[in-house]
Amino acid sequence: MGFFLSSLHFSARCVSKPPPMTTENLNPFAMAQAQLDEAAAILGLDKATHAMLREPMREIRVHFPVKMDNGSVRVFQGFRVQYNDARGPTKGGIRFHPEETIDTVRALAAWMTWKTAVVNIPLGGGKGGVICNPKELSTSEIEEQDVPAPDVYMTPQIMAWMMDEYSTMMGHNEPGVITGKPVPLGGSLGRADATARGGVITIREAAKVLNFNAPEATYAIQGFGNAGQHAARLMRELLGARRLLAVSDSRGGIYNADGLDWQAVLAHKEETGSVVSCPGAQAITNEALLELPVQILIPSALENVITGANAPRVQAKVIAELANGPSTPEADVTLRKKGVFTIPDFLCNAGGVTVSYFEMVQNQTNDYWEESDVVARLDRKMTQSFHDVYRVREAQKTSMSTAAYLVAVQRVAEAMKLRGWV
C-alpha cells in the first residue's frame, strides 16, 4: 500500500489528448479542456501557458492487491493525478467508484485546480480514484486502501485510517496530511455540511444580484446524498426557502407540487435507503426532475446530467451546480442562450475544499476554531468569490461559468509566470 502517498514523488509524463467529445461520447476530460480553451482564448494566453494548463503535470496509474475477508487476494486499479501546483500543494480527494476512469480523475483534478483558484486559497488541484464498489466491501477490506481526502463513498473513518498510516510511516503524528478527518483526530468543525453550505451561500448571493425572493422560490435537488441532504436543510435554514418540490437519488425521485418536508424525506431515506415511495409524494424520474418548472435547480449527483439533448427542456432560472461537471459544454451554450443563470460547479461546490483548507491551517497552527468561526470564515470566502466572478461576468458580458474560468485561469497562469515556468 502507500501508493497514493508515494504519488507525491512520481515523475512527470506527457498525457495523450482524449478522443473528440460528442453527445454520445462525453469524455469528462475533453469537457474540462474545452472549458479551459474558451477561457484561454478570451484571456489571450500565450501558447506555452495554454498548453501547460491543458494537461496534468503528473499522474500515476497502479494495480495493487488487497486480501479479502475470505482469504483470497483481489487486485484493484487506482489513479492519482496532480494537475497543477503553481499556487500550492495539490489538494483533492479520492473516489471509490465501480466505473471510475482516468479521464474522470483528470477532469476532476483540473476542476479542483480552478476551484482552489477561484476561492483564492493557496492550493493546487489533484484527484484520485480506485475502481471498486465499496458497497461490496467490508470495513476491513476498505481499510486496506490508502486515501488522502474524502470524496465519493468516503468517510471520516477512512481519513482517520489514512492519517494514522502516514503518521506511522513518518514516526510522528501528522494530522495535516489528510483532511476530512474525525474532529477528535484533528478534523475541523463545520466540514460535514461545508460543500452544501458554500453552495447555498452562492444561491443567496445570486438572489441578491438577480433580485428574486429566495424564501418563495421553488427548487429541486437532483441527488439526495450527503451534499443534497445538507442543501435541503440549509436552503430552509439560511434562506427560508420552503418550496422544495422534488428530490431524487440513484433509484428515482419524488415530487409534490405543494412542497416536500425535507426532514420527512430524509427519515424515509434513512429507513429505506432511498427517497422512492416516500409518503405524500408522487414518483418522478431523475430525467424529469431536471426539466421541472422550478426557479432553482440544484444538481448534486455525478457528471453529465444536463446535456445538449435535454438542456432545451430545462426550465429552471438558476442552476446551482453542487455536483462536479453536471453540465456539458454543449449544454452550457444552450442554457446561456436561454438566459439561465448558472453558478458553476467549481465556484458553487468550493465550500468543501475551503473548509478542508481551514482544517489544514488549524492542524498546522494547533489552534482549533469554534464552528461559528468556521462558518463565518466560509461565508466571507464564498461571498467574496461569488462577487469576484460576478464582476467579471458583468464586465465581460458573459456567463458566470465563463467568468469563473477567467478568474481562476488568470490566477493560475499568473502564478506559473511568477515562478518562471512559462
Q: What is the average per-residue pLDDT within 35-45? A: 96
Give the tens place of pLDDT for each residue, 192-204: 999 999 999 999 9
Q: What are 283's strand-pairing partners? A: 254
Annotate 134-165 with b (16+ C-beta within 10 A) or e (fewer): beebeeebbebbbbbbbbbbbebebbbbbbbb
What is the reported pTM?
A: 0.85
Active site residue 127: yes
Place of cell 466571507: 380
With cell 476551484, the residue in question is 115
Domains present along the chain, CATH in parentheses: 3-16+56-185 (3.40.50.10860), 194-348 (3.40.50.720)
The mean pLDDT value for 133-142 works out to 78
Q: What is the pLDDT of residues 354-368, one digit of tens each?
A: 999 999 999 989 999
Q: Give residues with Cβ within 8 angstroms of 27, minimum separation 6.
A: 18, 19, 21, 103
Question: What is the per-residue pLDDT across 155-189, written as a single tens digit (0 to 9) for each?
Answer: 666 655 555 554 555 565 555 556 667 787 788 89
* Nine cell digits for residue 57: 503535470
Residues 205-225, mean pLDDT to the nearest whole number: 97
Task: Choose, from 91, 115, 127, 269, the residue flagged as catalytic.
Answer: 127
- Considering only CA atoms, which of 142, 160, 29, 28 is closest in space to residue 96? 142
Per-residue pLDDT of 262-319, as tens digits, reads 999 999 999 999 999 999 999 999 999 999 999 999 999 978 899 999 999 999 999 9
How many CB atoms lie under 10 A from the CB of residue 368? Answer: 15
How many other CB atoms are there within 10 angstroms of residue 400's CB atom? Answer: 25
Measured CA to CA in angstroms, residue 370 lies from 7, 15, 50, 100 at distances of 34, 43, 42, 37
